[in-house]
Structure 1
Amino acid sequence: MEGALSVGFVGAGKMAFAIAAGLLASGNVQPEKVIASAPSDNNLYKFKEAGMQTTHNNACVVKNCTILFLTVKPSILPEVLRSISPLVTPAHLVVSVAAGITIEALENLLPLGSKVLRLMPNLPCVVQQGTMAFCCGSNAGEREAVLLKNLVSACGLCEEMPESYIDIHTGVSGSGLAYVYTFAEALTDGAVKMGMPYELSKKLVAHTLLGAAKMILETGEHPAKLKSDVCTPGGTTIHGLYQLEKGNLRSTVMDAVEAATSRARELGKK
């Protein structure tokens, strides 16, 4: 990665900082080569503390970067794009992380020929364990895809996929974090209910989830097979699973993914 690479963030929320922190941790970009903008200092102080540049002027970001991350809320992105569009050039690589906003909509709001990519990351990018999906616009090709992937891959898994999958990825990997955290909270509370101290319970639950994820990745087995491997006839696990089945856990989780995906698609239409 070129040491002179400059990266800008229009919007300085949690996702912007997660990506920026991941970039710095990877060593691909130097702090002084990152600039972020936001209307107030509420979130910018995190960027300042990490040695990055900050401003209240979106135009300043565009003028001082080659890779531009659009990290504002979907509802205000069209307005932001109209204001910065005159400053975007063919030299810019514009990367949108706004849920639901399609490549077509982005290109219609930017100058003809703009290189646009749509990226959906999730918050674990800040600890370099993120899950990211991206797709390329009509003027962005393999070179731009490789550049983006090399830039953010240190933040975690980064996969190129058809745009039709991006909203599903949002419902699974983006919103799915909240589902996992809710499940982790419930497991922890269950252990506390049975008499275990909270801090110990939390640590055990976190490592249980980490170990389960690693086994899925490293064994290549279907999750159903791994689940069955834990169950013994008449044992503790099958009794616990029976209670989860009574609560319709699996269908409820599937419904949650559908609801989040549908909401992402609605945001795009708006």
Structure 2
Amino acid sequence: MTIKFGIIGGGVMGEALLSRLINQQIYLPSEILVSEPQAQRRSLLTQQYQIAVTSDNKEVVRAAEVLFLAIKPQVFDSVAAELVEDGVVVEGQLVISIMAGVPLNKLEWAFPGQPVIRAMPNTPATVGAGMTAIAPGNHVQLGHLERAQGIFQAVGEVVEVPETMLDAVTGLSGSGPGYVAILVEALTDGGVAAGLPRAIASGLALQTVLGTAQLLKETGMHPAELKDKVTSPGGTTIAGIAELERLGFRSALIEAVKKAYRRSKELGS
């Protein structure tokens, strides 16, 4: 059977995507080929998903209709040099990269004349709740965009942005799960410090973050409006918010996004 979806890099994000694509029957296991350097990892992917695996990147490039690059940006130069040296190009093949900081012009150098799309998903994609921003290259047509959107909709929501915004996307939604994880951990520790058992504090913190996000999304309410609704004069919430403001909580998050944004730009330079 024809290989319709090829992945170079069988790590966490690559596995998250292929598992959802198979689960939603967008691709059959027999239509997927993954290149992965670690033998143990190849064995795990084969056993778990009944897909074909290889250690040869060129085999995936030659076979796949859609090529998905899920490797670390630091190793892209060596992988690209290998492909360029051997002239491995498949005409009309859609190339999708999730490498942070690797620009479209660099990707199009490695895959000349090919439709190339840069994408920035985040780790909630592993449970189908991801947020992915995509930016099209010079040779991308509407059909390519629709295909990429269909792939990433398997793991969450998708938005199209110009490439100039992708570093900012990386700083916000790409790195954001790390910030939220610290928030949940800190809320839990605060509950423990106030006398709650850790298991109860953890459950309260998790559901509070999840429920607040769901409320904001479903109602379209501005976060400031929700904040105002839950703060009564002289009450507990405004006391807590005042302390957050005193300690620079809001500024710390803003600066974290900006710092991650700058680091993403450095990776691409």
State the TM-score, normalizing by the size of structure 2.
0.94
Which range moves more in the overlay, 49-58 or 124-133?
A: 49-58
8 Å CA contact 2:3, 2:63 repeated in 1:
no
Alignment of 1:1-270 (within 5 A): 6-48=4-46, 49-85=48-84, 86-111=87-112, 113-269=113-269
Q: How far off its partner does 1:5 sit?
A: 6.5
Distance 1:249 1:12 in 2: 37
Report the RMSD for the aligned CA atoms in angstroms: 1.6
| Structure 1 residue ranges, 4+ long, deviating more than 4 angstroms after superposition | none
8 Å CA contact 1:44, 1:54 repeated in 2:
yes
Q: How far off its partner does 1:224 sit?
A: 1.1
- After superposition, the C-alpha distances for 1:177-232 in whole angstroms (9 at most, x for unaligned) are 10000000011111122222222222221111111111221111211111111111
Aligned length, in residue pairs? 266
Q: How far off its partner does 1:239 sit?
A: 1.1
Which range moves more in the overlay, 187-196 or 114-123?
A: 187-196
Query: Between the two proteins, what is the percent identity of the paired residues?
Result: 35
Please state whether the residue corresponding to 1:94 is helix, strand or coil.
Answer: strand
8 Å CA contact 1:149, 1:158 repeated in 2:
yes
Q: How far off its partner does 1:23 sit?
A: 1.6
Please state whether the residue corresponding to 2:67 is helix, strand or coil.
Answer: strand
Distance 2:76 2:169 in 1: 20
In structure 2, relative to structure 1, the CA distance for the partners of 1:259 and 1:208 (3 Å cut) is same
Distance 2:44 2:124 in 1: 17
Please state whether the residue corresponding to 1:80 is helix, strand or coil.
Answer: helix
Give the letter aligned to residue 151 of structure 1: I
Distance 1:5 1:245 in 2: 54
- Consecutive unaligned residues in structure 1, runs of 5 or more: none
Distance 1:197 1:134 in 2: 43
Q: How far off its partner does 1:84 sit?
A: 2.3
8 Å CA contact 1:132, 1:158 repeated in 2:
yes
Which range moves more in the overlay, 170-179 or 237-246?
A: 237-246
Please state whether the residue corresponding to 1:256 is helix, strand or coil.
Answer: helix
Distance 2:189 2:207 in 1: 16
8 Å CA contact 1:22, 1:152 repeated in 2:
no
Give the letter aligned to residue 240 of structure 1: G
Give the letter aligned to residue 87 of structure 1: V
In structure 2, relative to structure 1, the CA distance for the partners of 1:266 and 1:207 (3 Å cut) is same
- Consecutive unaligned residues in structure 2, runs of 5 or more: none
8 Å CA contact 1:82, 1:110 repeated in 2:
no
Q: How far off its partner does 1:19 sit?
A: 1.7
Distance 1:103 1:50 in 2: 31
